[in-house]
Structure 1
Amino acid sequence: MTQPLKDILVLDFSTLLPGPMATLMLSEAGAEVVKFERPVTGEDARHTDPKIDGESIGFAVLNHGKRSVAIDLKSNDALDALRPLLEKADVLVEQFRPGVMERLGLGYEAVRTINPQIVYCSITGYGQTGPKATAAGHDLNYVGDAGVLSLSRGPDDRPTMPFGLMADIGGGTYPAVVNILLALMARQKTGQGVHLDIAMSEGAFAFAYWAHAEGVIAGQEIASADSRLTGRLARYRLYSAADGRQIAVGALEEKFWQAFCDVIGQPQDLRDDWVDPVACAAEVARRLGRQPSTHWGPLLMAADCCCSVVKTPAESAADPHFTARGVFERKLDISGREVPALPLPIAPQFRTGAGSVGRAATLGEDNARFGVDPRKTE
């Protein structure tokens, strides 16, 4: 099958995570992505640990398969050097604070004058407008402002950190990709491009849809860890086995809960976790703590009750289920070493071969290809 984004040209002015992951997804679906970096040092992510023979693994994981052009966007001739690419580009992704691209002469209105059909995607923490538009922030700040952190913050003396970058990826990367694809579809009908304003903090709201229903619409007070999905009930919690491994109990439905209780021998008078959730959870914890995870894992699997042993990332990569589905078959070349590429939610039929090996371009590797003279931009 022909890749759906074949012949789509994407100009990537983003750094770190949200934008680079979004353009990686577009690349995986066939788009040609040209990544612009400052001369000499490149983007900061190139220098982050861990590394393989001096090459950043994190950078390679997010930027393989892209072109690299080194250019000083502050130089007087930058716009002239980029004009040929701007004229034929389909998508532009940028991740600066509001106003920065305008100061560089590369704001949406300026670019639209050159190319009215371009889909121009701006990813920021708080959006292009509003009182906090120019405020600095990272994922932790965005999910905090979206009310997500307050739902399960842990004890005061040891606050719980989020396990994933919900705002960066769920509020930045995914909305960017979805809206870029929608904009490309709309362009087929109208012939016009659009400016997409992606605010990571706003995208984080969707991760706590139930909190929106309870806390915003119904106006209920939601204390930390006091919801059915954040630890209030015994049937949806993490517990420790005797070997210190955690058991994820997700038995929300009654049939799953009763099956789980049967496995661990939970007494009938302590099965109603709505009546006395504290006593019920304490007994579950006591019983699971009697045996190691190796004992519980097979029993819970056989009971098919939405309960499982929590895996490490390395264990997940070796899981027979994911292996059978080819989740880690796609390979990445980092300094000559073949390693698994990051699994992305792009359907296999839209990508190149599963075993194809990609790599991250060296800084400025494609300057000559696109006629950008690095000597003029240093």
Structure 2
Amino acid sequence: MPLKGIKVLEFVGLAPGPLCGKILTDFGATVTRIDKILDNPLDVLQQGKSTISVDLKNPKGQQLVLRLANKCDVLIEPFRPGVMEKLNLGPNELRKQNPRLIYARLTGFGQHGRLAPRAGHDINYVAISGVLSMLGRRQEKVTAPINLLADFAGGSVMCALGICLALLERHNSGRGQVVDASMVEGAAYVASWLFMSRNLNIWGQERGDNILDGGSYFYDTYETKDGLYISVGALEPQFFELLKQRLELPEDLCQFGEEHQDRGKRLLTEVFLSKTQSEWSKIFEDVDACVYPVLDYREVHKHDHNKERESFELLEGVTAPRPAPLLSRTPGKLPKKSDKQHNLIEELELKPQELKDLLDSGVLTLPEKAKL
């Protein structure tokens, strides 16, 4: 696996940090989580990682983390700026002893700037990024994309990319560096095309009135007879003509022009309600009209295309996406609960009495199966 041999220390926070660690785990890295508790019910992304609990306010706990960091290639921390410095675990302290360490800091607003110390969530970061202003239907309030855009796309994935870039650069320089992963900047960067395409003729209208944001009837979703949905993305003229043919729409219905949009939306709404999602899927099965079913997340692994590519696995009874992208020689792999987890504590070669003192004092807590 591409990250085999890379050791990661992940300080557990909310979902962005754990997904970043999961990406590294799925592609072969060894990840040790430091959490306040061993069994955190809120972290559903811990498969393949080992977990220890350390009292970070105790100087002995801080020294233990320092020793762990000396054994690692990467550290991920999700706290507000200054928190790790107060614990004597900031990048300056840790990289003095391990100059090869890549210290990834994953926060909402970044490590400096007026808002850096402030609290926030995905909806706030997407708002400050400017991207939220582009999302939503006409004459409706802007719509937050759950917490996908800032937490995960702009946060987790961009932070993992930064770590991989720093690892690649370290191959040449031999030195680590600090990765400042701001979810605001990450969300904006993911939306680069949206920012940089504003002069194209697909835009120019208010939010919700453009081709791609709900203003066009040939690029939208429609309810079917059974209460499910179909996605329509017939942007190009040739796709639109096939759409008209399969839906038996009037010949005089045009693709573009404001005067055709309300009529087109009404016609497509009515016609899609006449059949079930399965029936429509069969009608469009063999034609490139860019019409596909909106699959339910609980059933997505049963779709024939996804089954053929093995795009999803059932992991402890839950549908889990396979690691992406797919590499031809060294693909990622979803860890199973039964997979042996690496215990980073073993590498510290603590003396038996030293380990006993750490455990007895509560500075360190290990899972039962990991105790030496």
Bucket of the pairwise TM-score, normalised by the shorter protein: 0.7 to 0.9
Give, in angstroms, the shift of residue 374 of structure 1: 3.4
Q: Which has the higher contact order (CA 8 A, sep 6+)?
A: 1
Q: If the length of structure 1 is used for normalisation, what is the TM-score?
A: 0.84
In the other structure, the counterpart of 1:115 is 98
Over 3 Å counting, the alpha-carbon distance change for 1:308 and 1:187 in structure 2 is same
Is the 1:78–1:377 contact (alpha carbons within 8 Å) kept by the matching residues of 2? no
- CA 1:217/1:105 → structure 2, altered by over 3 Å: closer, same or farther? farther
**Residue aligning to 1:18:** 16
Unaligned runs of 5+ in 2: 364-372
Q: Tell me the residue number matched to 1:105.
A: 88
User: Is 2:355 the counterpart of 1:376?
Assistant: no
Q: Which residue of 1 aligns with 2:194?
A: 211
RMSD of aligned residue pairs (Cα, Å): 2.9
One-letter amino acid of the counterpart of residue 47, structure 1: P
Identity %: 31
Q: Summarize the alignment of residues 133-148 of structure 1 with structure 2, pairs less than 5 Å apart.
A: 133-148=116-131
Q: How does 1:236-315 map to 2 (within 5 A)?
A: 236-276=219-259, 277-315=261-299
CA shift, 1:129, in A, is 0.9
Preserved CA contact (<8 Å) 2:137 2:214: no
Give a deviation string over 1:279-326, Cα, whole Å, max 9, x none. Answer: 222222222223222321111222221111211001212112111112
- Retained in 1: the 8 A contact 2:108–2:116? yes
What displacement does 1:207 show? Answer: 4.2
How far residue 215 of structure 1 moved from its aligned partner, in angstroms, is 4.9
* Counterpart in the other structure of 1:47: 41
Cα deviation, residue 346, structure 1? 4.8
Task: Work out which of the residue numbers 315, 330, 348 in structure 2 matches 1:350.
Answer: 330
SS in 1 for 2:230: strand
**1:66·1:360 contact (CA, 8 Å) conserved in 2?**
no
Aligned AA for 1:88? Answer: K
Between 1:13-22 and 1:181-190, the stretch displaced more is 13-22
Q: 1: distance between equivalents of 2:223 and 2:115?
A: 41
Query: Which structure 1 segments of 5+ residues have no match?
Result: 49-58
Aligned-partner Cα distance in 1 for 2:23–2:197: 34
Distance 1:130 1:217 in 2: 33
Change (3 A) 1:99 1:360: farther
Q: 2:69 aligns with which of 77, 86, 91?
A: 86
> What is the CA-CA distance between 1:221 and the residue it aligns to?
6.2
TM-fit CA distance, 1:120: 0.6
TM score, norm. by length of structure 2: 0.85
Q: 1:327 to 1:32 in 2, by over 3 A?
A: same
State the alpha-carbon separation in 2 of the partners of residues 300 and 369 from structure 1: 58
1:212-231 to structure 2, matched below 5 A, reads: 212-215=195-198, 223-231=206-214
Distance 1:275 1:256 in 2: 20
Alignment match, 2:305 = 321
String of CA shifts for 1:78-136, please: whole Å, max 9, x gaps: 22212322212111111001111111111111111111111110000111111111111
Whole-angstrom CA distance in 1 between matches of 2:116 and 2:332: 38
Offset of 1:353 from its aligned partner? 6.3
Secondary structure, counterpart of 1:172 in structure 2 = helix
Tell me by how many angstroms 1:191 deviates.
Answer: 1.0
Over 3 Å counting, the alpha-carbon distance change for 1:321 and 1:197 in structure 2 is same
What letter matches 1:319 in structure 2?
A: H
Distance in structure 1 (CA, Å) of the matches to 2:63 and 2:199: 50
Deviation at 1:168, TM superposition (A): 1.0
Cα deviation code 1:167-207 (max 9, x no counterpart): 11110111111111111111111111100100111111244
Q: Secondary structure at the match of 1:358?
A: coil
SS at match of 1:36: strand
Q: 1:252 to 1:346 in 2, by over 3 A?
A: closer
CA gap 1:216/1:69 in 2 versus in 1, 3 angstroms: farther
Deviations 1:224-252 (A, max 9, x none): 31221111111111112222221100111
Deviation of the 1:347 alpha carbon:
2.9
Return 178-187 or 297-306, whichever deviates more. 297-306
